[in-house]
A and B are shown apart, each in its own frame.
Chain A
Amino acid sequence: KNEVEQSPQNLTAQEGEFITINCSYSVGISALHWLQQHPGGGIVSLFMLSSGKKKHGRLIATINIQEKHSSLHITASHPRDSAVYICAVPLRYSGGGADGLTFGKGTHLIIQP
């Protein structure tokens, strides 16, 4: 079974700072997901990546498959970025068959004005 570790658990920063959230997993995967959850519960998928780097606006996600590690970066952070950021990977390596996700505990990010 895949295990996911996220760090830090809590992060408070000032508006404009560069933010990095890290995720490590234990078993080889087909793809890793970065998700955002606001108070109230709904989850939004930010990125799904299996190699290299993806960018969307001020968000950048990178993954190193060999090291089983991924990072989520936020440039020029803004108070509206305040949310819980969650890393998720397939529950187990299933070679293309059914697979639910296992989630990290999440990083609670607060950006202060």
Chain B
Amino acid sequence: DAGVTQSPTHLIKTRGQQVTLRCSPKSGHDTVSWYQQALGQGPQFIFQYYEEEERQRGNFPDRFSGHQFPNYSSELNVNALLLGDSALYLCASSTWPGAAYGYTFGSGTRLTVV
């Protein structure tokens, strides 16, 4: 039974570019949440998707957008990359609504903006 799969594992982008990160949830899960973890910090909630809609959003600018597909997989898009966007991006899947049912985390995508 595959857990949460994230791709790519590592990525280097130039300031101003756009990036797309991908997440496949654990089998049986229908909700995907995205988190940003800067070096030495705890993860910060970006947003959560369920039924192809954004259900909750953390304190992130509109440059951060997402999408969920009918097969429950999800993408995180970041436009106009800044150096400060360099971080580990974690995806977590769960059964709606998530908080009371537990999460499975992926290994993350390490994004470096130069």
Contact = CB atoms under 8 A, between A and B. Distances in A.
B72 interface: no
Contacts of B58: 91, 100
A31 interface: yes
A100 B33 contact: yes
B102 A48 contact: yes
Interface in B25-62: 33, 35, 37, 41-45, 47-48, 50, 55-56, 58
B67 interface: no
B46 to A, nearest CB: 8
Interface residues of B, number: 30
Given A91-B45, A91-B56, A101 B103 contact: yes
Interface string A19-43: 0000000000111010100001111
Task: Specify the main secondary structure of chain B where it touches its partner.
Answer: strand
Interface residues of A, number: 28
A104 B42 CA distance: 6
Contacts of B35: 100-101
Contact of A100 (B45, B88, B102): B45
B106 interface: yes
B42 A98 contact: no
A50 to B, nearest CB: 7
B42 A86 contact: yes
Contact of B99 (A30, A35, A43, A106): A30
Interface of A: 29-31, 33, 35, 40-45, 48, 50, 86, 90-91, 94, 96-106
Given A86-B42, A86-B43, A98-B96, 12 more contacts: A31-B100, A33-B102, A41-B110, A43-B108, A90-B99, A94-B56, A99-B48, A99-B97, A99-B99, A100-B45, A101-B35, A105-B41
